[in-house]
Structure 1
Amino acid sequence: MHDTPLRNTTTIAVVDDDESVRTALEGLLRSSGYKVRTYCSALEFLDTNAPAGTHCLISDIQMPGMSGVQLHEKLDAMGFKIPTIFITAYPHLGAGTPRLVACLPKPCEADSLLNSIEAALRQRH
């Protein structure tokens, strides 16, 4: 995978109710040169100004309160067209989601995730 010039200015939001998943993804993405913000729920993500500064969203699908699919639909309705990657034990639940770059199974391979992020950033620009 080649280095993207915008990588160090790119913010990726990770939304997952599992702290160990958030921590692992944050470490991988930071070591790959991305700015990372983590959120324990879709509602926490929405309650901040995070959507405006997010270049790519990585989210679990099944979370308490609001699912990843519902989060993506809410962002879309709010006018935020954020390329999204789902990482989930239930990949079939993400089928047909607009601007869905990938729906990766948990646990996902680092290379698959990083390639999906690169695809998301190309889609955004």
Structure 2
Amino acid sequence: MVDDDEAIREALDDLLRSAGFRCRPFVSAEDFLAHADRADIACIILDVRMPGLSGLELQERLNADGGGHPPILFMTSYADETTRNRALGGGARDVLGKPVDGHVLIASLNSAMAAG
């Protein structure tokens, strides 16, 4: 999960771990990119608006790398149609509004991981 808001990272980490998922929080897109071993990441939960690289810019960079990447779920407080279309057009599996309902997030995560 990549989100600049510490409270959201902690809450999502608790939620995901309680649902049986392993979670690795990152404070920024740059932090995520600097992580040497991303091979064991099954899905990326990504905030849209962050300082530095935005979530959409990180998605574009991952797409440009050409090596494929895990499915992406976006979460945002700014779910306007342009942002949603850009995220989904870039291959995101879902765009969820903040605050996100835990059951909705888990269902979307399971669906994204099943689809690969």
Q: TM-score, normalised by structure 2?
A: 0.89
Q: CA deviation at 1:101?
A: 1.2
Deviation at residue 34 of structure 1 after TM alignment: 0.6
Offset of residue 96 of structure 1: 3.5
Equivalent residue for 2:70, pick from 78, 82, 89: 82
Q: Which amino acid aligns with 1:46?
A: L
> Which residue of structure 2 aligns with residue 120 of structure 1?
112
Deviations along 1:37-66, one digit per CA (max 9) or x if unpaired, are 000000000001243221100011000000
AA at the equivalent of 1:72: Q
Q: How many residues align?
A: 111
TM-score normalised by length of structure 1: 0.83
Q: What secondary structure does 2:93 align onto?
A: strand
Q: Distance in 2 between matches of 1:90 and 1:99?
A: 18
CA RMSD of aligned residues (A): 1.2
Unaligned runs of 5+ in 1: 1-13
Identity %: 38
**Residue matched to 1:17:** 4
Tell me which residue corresponds to 2:19.
32
Helix, strand or coil at the partner of 2:62: helix
Deviates more, 1:39-48 or 1:94-103: 94-103
Unaligned runs of 5+ in 2: none
Q: Which has the higher strand share?
A: 1
Q: After the TM superposition, which segments of 4 or more aligned residues of structure 1 sit over 4 Å from their partners?
A: none
SS at match of 2:112: helix
Deviation at 1:94, TM superposition (A): 3.2
Task: State the Cα distance separating 1:76 from its structure 2 match.
Answer: 1.5
